Structure 1
């Protein structure tokens, strides 16, 4: 795979997505891309140039796009349906439910520029409810990769899985992490740092911030366990129960505090191993502003996560 676009040590995970997809398409002629007038934002220009007959642009018609993807899957193709996460999930939720999840269609949904990547465009373009909408759907695998390597590996895993998958792909710059596993496994969490005082469970763009928070806590003598929960469905309950042994669990996500990673972890802890817990995320509709401004305002920074851990441990 070609190196993803890099700026000052940070990467755009969309580059890893398209590089991996192009490599997979070279080896498997069944792979096609379906977009909603989003070739540019999905960075699929190179794919279109290499495989002009294997990219279908339906225009700004998300519900139709899902139906086209499902039809292609029924015809033996492996469609990667790619569009801005807020529109892909919000406008076409019924089609995702009926045509993809319920029908167990072999469709790979790629939510681009997820979370608050479109910060300045306001709440209509923020995608902070998508995981809450999709997580309850039976048959649908949901993956939130943390960096370019994991994004590429998630796309490979999605292509290999016979069934519907949603991959949440961020365009917010993130560093390449030092992973503790050699390969990505759907449904398996990754422990990036050991610690016995508090556990921080994160996914997506929040994983690098969780690791930075753990470094800050270590300077105070607090050892934080950091878990990368890239797969939201199916959920690694064993990793959550292991985290609960610290007695204090914090979840961090670029999503609403309701229904996403925090909700999934809380369901496990409440029914199997109750402990002190804090859910970090967004409280509801957000003001218009840059992603950096919104992260800072709602405490989704290394300092904010570390402060939340100190507060939880002080209770």
Structure 2
């Protein structure tokens, strides 16, 4: 190997970095971990459990303060869910963390039979939802919401940002019964602070209004929808954004009220396959309510997604703010 070759800097890839913050965007560190620790100071029955992923789900913050209430179950998600159900039967309130793919695909039956069927008070909070990692199909939970929506007794949440997560934690703790929540970890963007936002379980929130387009969104796609709305103002296109953090139960009343306003293109945007997620849930509710509108979906395709750098993948699959802006403008012409 030549000296020139040896001296060349090694290129770094962002393919494995699960960060959805834009350059210069305001973030808050580990909102879930800090919110759970605050909750545990107030509730003695709160425990934390994970499958060898405490550091990667921000549960390490809880474990350092409450080591006697932290349970590391190893890489055994089925055992994790079964043990959580046992703790819940004895009066504890387990907050269980792992990656979304491992909970919903590997341990689905254990959640279904040991937690949901008995309507136990277990909170399942899962990182790497949808296309928030470049690892590829083994780690991309593109169908988790569809799976969890189908489970009886299960409340399903897809938060947008740090504020959503901080407020979600005490709200789901106050709710008796199983909850599945997507998790954004690490340095999480803070975008909802400027919209006088308050998380309410089962409630959708109109963050901004617009005469031409209504975007109904959840998770990181609400962040993208707000970016799109600001970008399209330059083209004199008014974009309203209805944030739907609770996927199940769905706030049908608010969704129908906003979608039935005449003359607007209704777009459902989600970081999830277009099959079985928020888009199809909204479409079904609009049909049942007799609402006739122009309806489109922005979401991930029914396919195994590629591995790579997140900005590239978000452009490729149409969920970046730039591609979403162009897509919506095309639908309006």
Which TM-score applies when normalising by structure 2? 0.88
Q: Which of 282, 286, 293 in structure 1 is aligned with 2:305? A: 286
Q: How far apart in 1 are the matches of 2:281 and 2:147?
A: 13
Q: Which of 135, 142, 164 in structure 1 is aligned with 2:178? A: 164
Matches within 5 A, 1:4-15: 8-11=24-27, 15=30
The aligned counterpart of 1:248 is: 265
2:226 matches 1:211: yes
User: RMSD value over aligned CA atoms?
Assistant: 1.9
Q: Which has the larger radius of gyration?
A: 2
The alpha carbon displacement at 1:6 in A equals 11
Q: Name the SS for the 1:304 alignment partner.
A: helix
Q: How far apart in 2 are the matches of 1:252 and 1:285?
A: 19
Q: Contact conserved, 1:6 with 1:12, CA < 8 A, in 2?
A: no
The alpha carbon displacement at 1:201 in A equals 1.0
2:283 matches 1:266: yes
The aligned counterpart of 1:149 is: 163
Q: Which of 107, 110, 130 in structure 1 is aligned with 2:125? A: 110
2:328 matches 1:309: yes
Which TM-score applies when normalising by structure 1? 0.92
Q: Contact conserved, 2:31 with 2:188, CA < 8 A, in 1?
A: no
Q: Name the SS for the 1:56 alignment partner.
A: strand
The alpha carbon displacement at 1:83 in A equals 0.5
Q: Name the SS for the 1:41 alignment partner.
A: helix
Q: Say how many residue pairs are matched.
A: 308
Q: Name the SS for the 1:183 alignment partner.
A: coil
Distance 1:83 1:289, change over 3 A: same
The aligned counterpart of 1:298 is: 317
Q: How far apart in 2 are the matches of 1:210 and 1:145?
A: 14
Q: Contact conserved, 1:277 with 1:312, CA < 8 A, in 2?
A: no
The aligned counterpart of 1:130 is: 144
Q: How far apart in 2 are the matches of 1:175 and 1:50?
A: 25
The alpha carbon displacement at 1:12 in A equals 5.8
Q: Contact conserved, 1:155 with 1:167, CA < 8 A, in 2?
A: no
Q: Could you tell which deviates more after superposition, 163-172 or 273-282?
A: 163-172
What runs of 5+ residues in structure 2 fail to find an aligned partner? 1-20
Per-residue Cα deviation, 1:280-306 (whole angstroms, up to 9, x for no partner): 111121111122111011111222222
Q: How far apart in 2 are the matches of 1:311 and 1:302?
A: 14
The alpha carbon displacement at 1:178 in A equals 3.5
Q: How far apart in 2 are the matches of 1:12 and 1:180?
A: 17
Q: Contact conserved, 1:62 with 1:92, CA < 8 A, in 2?
A: yes
Distance 1:212 1:200, change over 3 A: same
Per-residue Cα deviation, 1:61-112 (whole angstroms, up to 9, x for no partner): 1111111111111100000010111111110111111222221000000011
What runs of 5+ residues in structure 1 fail to find an aligned partner? none
Q: Contact conserved, 1:11 with 1:148, CA < 8 A, in 2?
A: yes
